[in-house]
Amino acid sequence: MTGPHPATAATRLAVRRVLQECSPGDLVLAAVSGGADSLALAAAVAFEAPALAVRAGAVVVDHGLQPGSAAVAQRAAGACRELGLDPVEVVAVAVDPAGAGPEAAARSARYAALDRAAGRLGAARVLLGHTLDDQAEQVLLGLTRGAGGRSLAGMPRVRGLYVRPLLGVTREQTRASCRAEALEWWDDPMNEDPAYTRVRARRALVDLERDLGPGVAAALARTADHLREDADLLDRLADEAAAALGPGPWEAVALLDSPRPVRTRVWRRLAVAAGAPGGQLATRHTDACDALLTRWHGQGPVSLPGGLRATRSGGRVSIAAPPPVE
């Protein structure tokens, strides 16, 4: 008896491993865009869930960023229903690209919609269709930004409700699986627009595979796995060090007890706890804070996002909003 196409078998196995972590009766939702990655994910979920007594549904987010997006969302929802997923919801969101830019704004709107849907439906997991290629592109973007280890660690397999089963499956495998299962996917034209940083990273990765030989994407994804283990350990150590410091002001010598890779993470935690927006804190901010310890020569306060200042006085450092001007 002929089994499934190898690409379909790979997606199903990846999804099965996630669903085996669920309890019978749990509801899992596939986040579906209509592209090959998410449709292959949805098909694998629909196939694997019944054998494990897991309920399986889907949420399709319509970002409304281009003409015909509502029709695309409805077609994706129809495909999910034909696969046997239930419930299947289409959620329209408003994306405000001002400030953060269209990519970040769309991502924020999408996750907010998925959060609401998961809460409303009582989902135990939301599965995302990011692939090995997406992971490699994420690492490549981190390298170009000169980001730290956490950024180079790429996307985590699990974060709260969200799980990415396909991080070991390639984009071509999801397309091959859709072809084998006679699933028609939608190619988002924004994925070909070089105005978007991720599209340029995708093209650069294709060039690297051509010039350096196949396997670059897989190597970058493996690098992310290794770095994530290191970053997780450093984060745990930073959590412990920040908790041990207690409320500020803090003795400079107490902060200096931690190695620099831990200390910079501690600075980030102290700043966020004081009210700094985490998404706006950059390496330059934590480096400037650390200079209050390692290169102290009586310099003035360090400006931080959220209208905060890090200051040193009398051997102690603090992070707070400046006093109001009278």
| Residues annotated in a binding site for ATP | 33-38
Closest Cα to residue 223, out of 151, 129, 127?
151
User: Annotated binding residues, as ranges?
Assistant: 33-38
Contact between 163 and 125 under an 8 Å Cβ cutoff? The reply is yes
Which residues, other chains included, contact 282 with Cβ-Cβ below 8 Å and sequence gap of 6+? none
State residue 148 phi and psi, 5-degree precision.
-85, -175
Contact between 108 and 116 under an 8 Å Cβ cutoff? The reply is no
Q: In what order do the strands lie in the sheet with 308-313?
A: 250-251, 316-320, 308-313, 302-304
CA distance 233 to 197: 30
Contact between 132 and 170 under an 8 Å Cβ cutoff? The reply is yes
Radius of gyration of the CA atoms of the chain, in A: 23
